[in-house]
């Protein structure tokens, strides 16, 4: 059985590296993007099974990326990875169609649980 694929979107290189380290034993990380503009073209090229998405990014922010992504790919699975102080924005992302959220700084187990939950048959 093939591993599910992930695209990591975060403007902070250290966060992308940390998420990759957490996800890679269980998922195939097929790409990383540092802003929403880069992420949209990478999503089209890679067609990952799910995305981890930071909200605060340059060029195209996470909310705008999410809206654009779900317009063209309504079944896209997105996990928001966001700082504690962004509760309203996280709520907006969930309302728009994000599947889950993880608060930074995050616990590795919480990240794995959120990703696994996307594919559980429950």
Could you write out the DSSP letters of every residue in 11-47? Answer: S-HHHHHHHHHHHTTTSEEEEEESSHHHHHHHHHHH-
**Consecutive H or E run containing 90:** helix 87-96
Q: pTM for the whole thing?
A: 0.93
Residue 91 has which token pair?
């709520």
Q: How far apart are CA 78 and CA 6, in angstroms?
A: 10
Range of the domain at 49: 5-116
Domain annotation covers residue 23: yes
- Rounded to the nearest integer, the mean pLDDT of the chain is 92
Q: What is residue 43's predicted lDDT score, i.e. its pLDDT?
A: 97
User: Considering the domain boundaries, does residue 121 fall inside one?
Assistant: no
CATH of the domain at 63: 3.40.50.2300
Percentage of the chain with pLDDT > 70? 96
Q: How crowded is residue 122: how many other Cβ atoms within 10 Å of its Cβ? A: 3
Report if residue 111 sits inside a domain.
yes
- 23 versus 84: the higher-pLDDT residue is 23
Q: Tell me which H or E stretch contains 80.
A: strand 78-83
pLDDT tens-place string over residues 61-106? 999 999 999 999 999 999 999 886 678 888 899 999 999 999 888 8
Q: How many domains does the chain have?
A: 1
Look at residue 94 and tell me if it is in a domain: yes
Domain annotation covers residue 122: no
Residue 31 resides in a domain: yes
């Amino acid at each position: 059985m093939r591993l599910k694929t992930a695209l990591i979107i975060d403007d902070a290189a250290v966060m992308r590296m940390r998420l990759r380290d957490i996800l890679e034993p269980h998922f195939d990380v097929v790409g990383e993007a540092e802003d929403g503009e880069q992420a949209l073209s990478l999503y089209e090229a890679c067609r990952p099974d799910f995305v981890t998405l930071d909200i605060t990014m340059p060029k195209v922010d996470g909310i705008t990326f999410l809206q654009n992504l779900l317009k063209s790919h309504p079944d896209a699975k997105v996990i928001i990875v966001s700082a504690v102080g962004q509760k309203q924005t996280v709520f907006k992302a969930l309302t728009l169609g994000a599947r889950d959220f993880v608060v930074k700084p995050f616990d590795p187990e919480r990240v794995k649980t959120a990703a696994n939950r996307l594919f559980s048959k429950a």
